[in-house]
Structure 1
């Protein structure tokens, strides 16, 4: 059985933080601010946004500072300034003209996020507005102009605390348990086998699903009609019970009541049955058990079995055991070896040749 490695999943979230503020700057007597001799700059009071103070400057004649660049006469200039010293802020801003009537405000400038640094020229953000946009229009009525300044300050993102992601545990598959109970309760059985004079019942569909040999016998063109019991020759009832247990449970019975020698003999018989009914997983499982239990007294018997039923890996393991442990003389003295010489002489020759090569080396 493959066990899944335990795993965990945690989650944290980074959320951008922004704070937005809007400042309305009313300019009354607009024409007077444009008259000769009037101050070139009109400044709002400072206003806070995002924990910082800002100020909006408006230049109705399009001139900024002493001897500064003068824009064409058909333009006005507005500037947003970050106050305080040694301050750096990332922000975006938008400038709108407020309709003095009932219409919507008019956006005249919009700047995406940028850095305002009070130690550099970047403390200012400047925009130039065509005068014709609001002179004369409903944006300038009764010699009054209202500028709406929207500032959005980007702050340090907020990261949520780490939380454990919900996990839904899925229990191991229990399909074998359900099929095992099906065999145990005998509910719905539809086929009977006579094995060594013992009646054993099962379900045709289950057997056919697990073994191509059973499928051919029970559903193939050579199947016998009727519901007569099927006689199974040359297999012990306990071995057939073990075979059925594996078919339904995909595992071997516990065999707790068997001695070590009897257990090994049962596994050999199950290997033969697995080969007979083309159940490759059971056959490999039996080979693995026999491979782990190789010893001097049984290796020759196991080798003969492996050769007869085409278990190449088990056969190689037996020969390796005999040759690598210099146990050839001890193995040759066992009854199993005498039988092996009689039934499988080619295997004996193969083992002897390999032993000879090792000794020469």
Structure 2
């Protein structure tokens, strides 16, 4: 009778559940680049003294942990368990069947004075990933916002004034490296100096928030009106499940009287240009005549003086860096047309000095030597 009573008590007692770990995926069919919120859930028995779990990297997805690990006591199927949950954001890189896992959780359990190490493994899960619904780099987000700020009105720019432009993009439920690359603001009538890019992913209560900021210092170098065209940013809207886009407004530069415009060259430059053209024409005519006689003629243009040399030295002596850059570009263009080398690093250093925050620090004598190779 006693044995039967013990057997009945054992049968009536709840069975001791085994430790388990699994990966929980949401419903739906995500597209490439879309954030998938994955939950790693463990249900354990006993006292856990130490634990370690590393989520696996893969060439098929990017990932990040969204929240700190959550440990709590919970009754599961009538049994008190120690529950573990980790929230992971997965960003698939290509369409097709995405396999995630397996994931292993290394546990150290304390049982009285002894400790026991075990490994609990979650089997892999598979989710179908749809293609990104547009050409180009995928960008899937929610509440994407583009701001375009100017330090002043470029339509009424003053002589020698620099306009600072800042474009910022913020987007929910994506990562910073998935945001677009920096736009190119190069124009023939404009010099631009780019500040270092700021790009980061911030964790919020709603999930990851991607952020990128670009900044340029812009200065026109001609007296003509110019326009920076609109910039379009496209993305797949998670709320509406459709493609959307944001377009910046065109930036129109209007000028007063720029002293250093294309048509404002000095008389000395014009005279030297005329002399250079006449000399080049004479050399060319002589060369053609000799070639008509079957003779090989060297390219005499290489020995012709650069007609912009005088204006270059004058601009360097006066210290007007904007005028110096204009003349230096004319000088460099002439040198290249006549097959002579020009140091591009010297022009880059000149641009950096133009936009230097603490004023002009350019060694103008060294600049002339570097540009002319002497």
Q: Provide TM-score, normalisation by structure 1.
A: 0.19
Which of 1 and 2 has higher RCO (CA within 8 Å, sep 6+)? 1
Q: Which has the higher strand share?
A: 2
Q: Which has the higher helix share?
A: 1
- Bigger Rg, structure 1 or 2: 1
